[in-house]
Structure 1
């Protein structure tokens, strides 16, 4: 193997990682934001429920 073929393989690997990695990163970002939003909503609901129980 010479340096030119190694360079060609590395460019192919870089392209594959970019093509697969970018959509995966966007998906993981979306799932994490959805989880944070759901946790925040449950936290609000639980706080309101606790205040109502205390009121009763």
Structure 2
């Protein structure tokens, strides 16, 4: 039972720090663009411009 003297404050501190981190991320706009992330993964922005225009499904 003595271990509860350490576990309860540790749980409260970790929970509070998680809540503070969540509120900080909300304040800084981390969740403003929920639609953009799903479209960014489909973007081929890492391809060079010449290759992106001429590459087709059978291009090598």
Normalised to the residue count of structure 2, the TM-score between the two structures is 0.46
Tell which has more relative contact order, 1 or 2 (C-alpha 8 A, sep 6+).
2
Normalised to the residue count of structure 1, the TM-score between the two structures is 0.49
Bigger share in helix:
1
